[in-house]
Each structure stands twice: as structure tokens, then as C-alpha cells.
Structure 1
Amino acid sequence: MICMYMMVEDKYIARIPPDMLGEDYDKAVEEVTKRSLEGKLVDVVNEKTGVNEGKYLVISIISTKAVGEGSIVHGDGGVYQEVKYSALVFYPEMQEIVDGEVVSVQKFGAFVKFSSFEGLLHISQIMDDRIDVDLENKRFIGKDTKRDLKVGDKVRVRIVALNLASSSVEDSKIGFTMKQVGLGKLEWLEKEAQA
């Protein structure tokens, strides 16, 4: 499995609210940065070209440092502070292979969760076999192979569609396939390796 977990350093403008200004300022900067960024999608912008190259999910803020003096805007009691931070992030990419778990079965496909993301494994991308849908037992069954895929199964999938249009993980649109060599339900892959 290739997972794009990495450390990044980036900058952010944090709004330190008035009620936090009486505290330790560095601690307030850290708290606001964590609250604002952890669990959110952040644009990856190429510093040289200014082009947006995708998004990463901030897993954990590791360190923060206030850069320069903060700014006060007329009519707003908060301080706007530039912050340099380092963070552990997850950066999903097209064609990346990920391991996940089937969390839901619908008549049109299965939803697979990996990291903090959830994506659709369309019924046409599950296996090279005609498939029966058994919604009562929340599973798919191959007519000829008799292989089944159900809620709770661990799978290895490839990302074939990726739309991270907003800053919300819930609004992400991700599509998967399992119809390639080395992909599928982990149990199937183990049996193939033993044969």
C-alpha cells in the first residue's frame, strides 16, 4: 500500500479572538491553528508558479510559530497573525493504491473508507464477473466465482476519480476500482498468493 502521509511546512493567517489575548500568545496561536486546520483540506499551491496542485488533509499540527507582528482590523477585536506551521498530512493522488474498509453497500456500489476519506467503489468496478446484489445481507456476490464483498471487508483499491473541491472531507468525491491485478478484497489476494 502506498499512502501519501508526509510532513509539510506551510503558512496560515490565524485570527486570535479577543478573549484569548490575555493568555500566553504563542499558546493561543497554536490552539487557534490546530482548531482551524486539523481535519480540514488545505490547498497545495506551487510557490514558484502559484498553481493549485491539489489538496492535503491536515491530520495533526506538530508545531506553530508566529511570524512577525499580528494585525488588528478596525471594528474587529481579534488579532490576525501569520503563522508558520509544520503538520502531518495525508495527500491522496490519482492512481494511488490504498487499503480501506467497506462501510456501506448500496445497489449501485460499495462505499470504502480509508484515512479520513470515503469513496465509491461502483458495482462495475468490483470484479470481472456478473454480480448479484444482496442488500438484505449488505453484500455483492459474483455469479460464477461466488466471491462476495460485504460491509466490514478489507479491500485494496486504486483511486480513479478524485475531486476535493471544498475544504470539507465530507464533500469530497472519490471513485475506486478493484478490477486490476493486485487489487481486491484482501482475503481474495491472500488466496491468490497461496495458489
Structure 2
Amino acid sequence: MITTYRIYEVTDYVRIPPSRFGEPLEVVAEEHLREKYEAKFDKDLGIIILVYDVKVSDLGIVLPGDGSTYHEARFKILSYIPVMHEVVEGVVKDARNIGLFVNIGPLDAFVHISQVMDSDDIEYNDALKAIVGDRNRRQVAVGDKVRGRITNISYQAAGPPRIAMTMRQPNLGKLEWIGGE
């Protein structure tokens, strides 16, 4: 089974500048690793959410011409990798005439207006900032909690992947609707 949240054990070298020599090694290393890894996207690891459980070797090396010490660090990272056909829940962040942008955790997903609900006539209502079904009068607006299925993952040359979702299948859509269909 493929899971979207994963934990990896990673080894890297941490540069400790002379200005930080008097501070606890573990604290300085963890700050450096968090700055380097957290909230970044790596094509192999996914979106790195958290760096934790940092263990740093007391023995460091000094490179010629650099007064800093370099220490081997072993640590764990928590990352998120979107999976095709996964069902996710999120909060509508923005509604536009082209569809919805839904926050699904560390990423935003896009739901095209045609994939928001089963209705013959769906339209964007600018006054409500919502997608409204003409026949069933259902609406999805900013702040609503929704459930959708990931239908496409588009990896970019740089930056996080783009996610497309549908909310038109059974047990998907605005959470208020589910169960009452």
C-alpha cells in the first residue's frame, strides 16, 4: 500500500560556523537542517514537512580555507507525496469562474468547475464567491470542507507538483452533502 505521508532517515553534513561554536551542537545542526529541508520539494522525497530526531557526530572536520566545522548528521524527515486516485479532504481556499482551489495539507489542489458536482448547469457566482449548481442549488464556497479524489499529478521542473481533483464521484464533494445523497 502506498501512503502519502512518509518518514525517511537521512544523512547529511552540517556546516557549523565559528560564530556558533559555543552553542549546543544538536541545536545549531537542527536549525540548519530545518532551514535547508523544511517546506521544500524534492522529486524523490516529496514535500518535506518536518525535520526531527537529529543526531550529530561530535567529531567534525575543518576544510582548508574555511574556519567552520562540518559534522555528519543523521535525522528523520516527514514528507508528503501525493498519490493518484487517493481520496483527500481539504478546505476550499479560493473559488473562481474556472473552479476551486482546495488546500489538502502541504499543497493546494485544483478542481475544475466541471468536476465540482453532478449538475447539468454549474456556474460561478461572483457575489457569493462560490460555485453553484443551477438545478440542485448546491453551492461550494471559500472555507467549505470538501472531499475529492486526485485525478492528475503534474510534476514541474521546479517547485511542487500541481494536483487536479474531482468531486463528482459517490461520497465525494462538500462534506455536508455526503450521506444525504
Report TM bin, short chain: 0.7 to 0.9
2:131 to 124, 140, 144: 140
Q: What is the root-mean-square deviation of aligned Cα atoms in Å?
A: 2.5
- In terms of fraction of residues, the more helix-rich structure is 1
Contact between 1:72 and 1:78, CA under 8 Å: does it hold in 2?
yes
Residues 122-172 of structure 1 deviation map (CA, whole Å, 9 limit, x = unaligned):
11211222211101210111122221111111110111222344674xx54
1:38 counterpart = 2:38? yes
Q: For structure 1, which segment, 149-158 or 86-95, has the greater mean C-alpha deviation from structure 2 after superposition?
A: 86-95
1:161 counterpart = 2:152? yes
> What residue ranges of structure 2 are gaps of 5+ in the alignment?
none
> What residue ranges of structure 1 are gaps of 5+ in the alignment?
45-54
1:73-152 matches, within 5 Å, as: 73-129=63-119, 130-152=121-143
1:191 counterpart = 2:180? yes
Give the equivalent residue in structure 1 for 2:17: 17
Question: What one-letter code is carried by the residue in structure 1 that aligns with 2:50?
Answer: S
| Pair 165,180 (structure 1): closer, same or farther in 2 beyond 3 Å | same
SS in 2 for 1:85: strand
Aligned residues: 179
Question: What one-letter code is carried by the residue in structure 1 that aligns with 2:96?
Answer: Q
Q: Report the Cα distance in structure 2 between the residues aligned to 1:64 and 1:162, rounded to whole angstroms.
A: 32
Runs of 4 or more consecutive aligned structure 1 residues displaced over 6 Å after TM superposition: none
Deviation at 1:78, TM superposition (A): 3.6
Give the equivalent residue in structure 2 for 1:28: 28
Q: For structure 1, which segment, 89-98 or 78-87, has the greater mean C-alpha deviation from structure 2 after superposition?
A: 78-87
Q: Report the Cα distance in structure 2 between the residues aligned to 1:118 and 1:186, rounded to whole angstroms.
A: 18
1:59 counterpart = 2:49? yes
% same residue: 34
Deviation at 1:190, TM superposition (A): 3.0
